[in-house]
Structure 1
Amino acid sequence: MSAHDHRYSATVTWTGNQGTGTSGYKAYSRDHDIAIPGKPAIAGSSDPAFRGDATRHNPEDLLVASLSACHMLWYLHLCAVNGIAVTAYRDDASGTMTEGDGRPGRFTEVTLRPHVTIAPGSDPAKADSLHHEAHEQCFVANSVNFPVRCAPVIEMGG
Structure 2
Amino acid sequence: PGASAPMYRGDRARWNPEQLLLASLAQCHMLSYLHQCADSGVVVTAYEDEPVGDLATRAGGGRFTEAVLRPRVEVAGEEMLEEARRLHAPASEACFIAASVAFPVRHEPTITVRPS
Residue identity opposite 1:97 in structure 2: L
Question: In structure 2, how many angstroms separate the alpha carbons of the residues matched to 1:87 and 1:67?
Answer: 21
| Equivalent pairs, count | 115
Once the two structures are superposed, the pairs formed by residues 143-158 of structure 1 within 5 Å of their partners are 143-157=100-114, 158=116
TM-score of the two chains, using structure 2 as the length reference: 0.94
| Contact 1:83 1:122 (8 Å CA) reproduced | no
Deviation at 1:122, TM superposition (A): 4.1
What is residue 127 of structure 1 aligned with on the other side?
A: 84
Corresponding residue to 1:115 among 61, 64, 72: 72
Deviation at 1:59, TM superposition (A): 0.2
Question: Matched residue of 1:140: which SS?
Answer: helix
Q: Deviations over 1:78-127 (max 9, x none)?
A: 00000100000011111111102x68400011100001000025421111
* Runs (5+) with no aligned partner, structure 1: 1-42
Question: Matched residue of 2:87: which SS?
Answer: helix
Once the two structures are superposed, the pairs formed by residues 1-158 of structure 1 within 5 Å of their partners are 43-100=1-58, 104-120=61-77, 122-157=79-114, 158=116
Q: Which has the higher helix share?
A: 2
* Runs (5+) with no aligned partner, structure 2: none
Question: In structure 1, how many angstroms separate the alpha carbons of the residues matched to 2:60 and 2:16?
Answer: 21
Residue identity opposite 2:13 in structure 1: T
Residue identity opposite 1:117 in structure 2: E
Question: In structure 1, how many angstroms separate the alpha carbons of the residues matched to 2:39 and 2:29?
Answer: 16
TM-score of the two chains, using structure 1 as the length reference: 0.70
Q: Indicate the structure (1 or 2) with the bigger Cα radius of gyration.
A: 1
Decide whether aligned partners of structure 1 residues 154 and 116 sit closer, same or farther in structure 2, where only a CA change above 3 A counts: same
Percent identical residues = 50
Question: 4+ residue stretches of structure 1 with deviation over 6 A?
Answer: none
Question: Matched residue of 2:86: which SS?
Answer: helix
